[in-house]
Amino acid sequence: MFALTNDDLRLRIVGCGDGPASFNAEASRRGANVISCDPIYRWEASQIRERILSTYDEMLEQTRRNADEFVWSSIRSVEELGQVRMATMQTFLDDFASGKLAGRYLEAELPTLPFADASFDLGLCSHFLFLYTTQLGDVFHRSAILEMCRVATEVRIFPLLALGGQQSPYVHENLDHLRALGFDATVVKVPYEFQRGGDYMMQIRTARTAGEHRLGGVAPTGPVRSCRRACGSSRPLAAERRIQRPSRILGIGRADVQRRNE
């Protein structure tokens, strides 16, 4: 879903809103340097397991009611989807305690992350931003994306659809805003589609990162300074009102490393 290459997996990666997905566990086994952030990591593995089990039936029922919004090719049925996601989350749960001790799972959340500027080479966010357009609102989206751009020199967000299957109106709003700040912000088609029409991601690079791809690293770094100024206004947001995001306790699909690597 993020069109990750082997070179990408050698980078310093931060996942925002990762939930109980297996990407960190599987990528770490392959030697990747990944830190996952999510407020649910304040809980113990047993508490997360209970929450997964308590929401499992409702997740399947919601998917059945909205089956026409999905592409049933690699996953052929709702029942198979349930099996796949439970296996994915078991991989997460098996890894969680040791990964938390190692500092790979951090209790943290957008729009304020506990990292210095440019701490990571790549920031990833799946099935959170844009998906919950109505629930999170435009101010949260803008603040969260700028915060990701502050801590990572490249950001990828997938998918660009809101719940219900329509493209989020915040996609083009944020593309325009980011470009005005000097970022290289584009929409990129990826070779993965489960949510129908959801085969695009947003890719954001600082001028320096984009220049390294095109000009051998000779490029201005102005957007980093612009992002610091823009992010400054978002800092009080988390303190003034903690946004209660929708439950994502069931995570994302099977073989997360493979999917994010497609």
Q: Given the structure tokens 């992002």, which residue do they identify?
A: 227
Residue 1 lies in a domain: no
Q: State pLDDT tens for residues 125-143.
A: 999 999 999 999 999 999 9
Structure tokens at 136: 């999170």
Residue 244: which CATH number?
Answer: 3.40.50.150
Structural domain total, the chain = 1
Residue 110 has pLDDT above 70, yes or no: yes
The pLDDT of residue 252 is 37
- Flag whether 59 is in a domain: yes
For residue 110, tell me if it sits in a domain. yes
Smallest CA-to-CA distance from 37 within 49, 55, 24, 28 is with 24
Residue 215, pLDDT score: 32
Which residue's entry shows tokens 């993020």? 2
The torsion angle over the Cα atoms of residues 13, 19, 25 and 31, rounded to 10 degrees, is 0
Question: Do residues 5 and 203 make contact, with C-beta atoms less than 8 angstroms apart?
Answer: no
Contact at 8 Å (CB) between 99 and 24? Answer: yes
Q: Are 26 and 257 in contact (CB under 8 A)?
A: yes
The reported pTM is: 0.81
Q: What is the pLDDT of residues 198-231, one digit of tens each?
A: 999 999 998 655 444 433 333 334 454 445 445 4
Tell me whether residue 3 is in a domain. Answer: no
* Tens digit of each residue's pLDDT (9 = 90 or more) over 150-202: 999 999 999 999 998 999 999 999 999 999 999 999 999 999 899 899 999 99
In a domain, 2, yes or no: no
Residue with tokens 């499992």: 56
CA distances from 114 to 84, 147, 151 (A): 32, 10, 9
Let me know: does 228 contact 117? Beta carbons within 8 Å. yes
Query: Given this model, what pLDDT does residue 214 score?
Result: 37
100 domain residue, yes or no: yes
Domain extent at residue 93: 8-261
Whether the per-residue pLDDT at 95 is higher than 90: the answer is yes
Residue 18 lies in a domain: yes
Strand order in the sheet with 154-158: 105-106, 33-37, 12-16, 122-126, 154-158, 200-205, 184-189
Mind listing the pLDDT tens digit for each residue in 42-83? 999 999 999 999 999 998 999 999 999 999 998 999 999 999
Nearest by Cα to 254 from 203, 205, 194, 173: 194
